Amino acid sequence: MAQRTSERLVNLTIALLSARHWVSKDQLRELVSDYRDMSPTNFNRTFERDKKALRSLGVPIITGSDDGYFKDEPGYRISRRDFELPPVSFDSDELSALALASRVWREATAADDTISAIAKLRAAGAQVDSHRFEALAPRISASEPAFDVCWQATLDRTRIGFRYRGGDELRTVQPWKLTWRRGSWYLLGLDEARRAPRMFKLGRISSGPDTIGESGAFTIPAGTDVDALSRSLEPSEPDASALIAVRSGFQPWLTRRGTLTSSGIDLPEDFQCWRIPYASGDDLAAQIAAAGPDAVVLEPDDLRAEVVRLLKTSAGRPA
């Protein structure tokens, strides 16, 4: 949401909360500075959009009037009783869990939300000390370009379209859930062309995603166990393994999947050998290529060849 729009919504909320009586639309136009310079048509359109935005955020804007106060139009107010939250308290274990959760997000839009939430808790007097958990350093990255659109579409129940694995087909999907599995984000949703649920790895979305239509366009069918469905559609279990030389202290996302082993090959002194299990349909080659000089495939040959092909393609050389 643009900063100007956010400020206008905050000012409108303050005006409605501070009113002791019903406030007419014309009065709100004078109270909220952004409305004053708008033409009547633009103001009416913007005001209706702002009301819808606030209500979608859970702000209870109600309409009514005092007897004889308005003649031809309703007045507006925010119901304080429904708007204000009751006091919230947490025990020490709950505060610890909140502090730990605040350290998870690093790269997604949700990081801003965690910062805001912790700031509000501290302002209310809760002693949330996330630095106590530095040693644990839990992280869920969300660096995939498709993440933000898929995340918002899942919340808004908006259909999305994208191309997958470099194919030409446009997949139209009703996004139901985002799930984190084995170091990657997956989207669970209804593939409308196939009329069946499908799981999509965000890193394999090659074009898009783009939202299609309005929010609230679909609902998850009644009786659908999304969690169970997600588990049933998870990527296959590892059916192969690779021997990877990894620079010591680098690429922990890779080494924690495997077991330290001996290769019988002379490696540079700052490298260690790891046996890494993977599924044949996994993106291990792309992940190793992304590691650059910090990871080298020792075996199998086909995996090493695919990593070399990806590196040459990235360098602009013929594969």
SS3 string, 71-94, reads CCCCEEEECHHHHCCCCCCCCHHH
The parent domain of residue 70 ranges over: 3-83
State the first-to-last Cα distance of the chain, in angstroms, to the nearest integer: 43
With respect to residue 117, please indicate whether it lies within any of the assigned structural domains. Answer: yes
pLDDT at 171: 93
Structural domains of the chain, count? 4
Sheet with 159-164, side-by-side order of all strands: 196-201, 184-191, 170-181, 159-164, 205-212
For the chain, list residues with pLDDT below 50. 1, 106-107, 128, 130-138, 319
Q: What is the overall mean pLDDT for the chain? A: 77
With respect to residue 139, please indicate whether it lies within any of the assigned structural domains. Answer: no
pLDDT at 174: 94
Please provide the size of the chain in residues.
Answer: 319
Residue indicated by tokens 């965690």:
114
Q: Verify that 166 and 208 share a domain, yes or no.
A: yes
Dmax over CA atoms of the chain, in Å, equals: 92
Boundary-marking domain end, from 183, 206, 232: 232
With respect to residue 141, please indicate whether it lies within any of the assigned structural domains. Answer: no
List pLDDT tens digits, range 119-173.
555 555 555 454 444 444 445 555 678 888 898 899 889 999 999 877 788 999 9
List pLDDT tens digits, range 277-312.
887 655 678 778 878 888 899 988 888 888 888 788
Q: Verify that 244 and 228 share a domain, yes or no.
A: no
Which residue type does 125 have? G
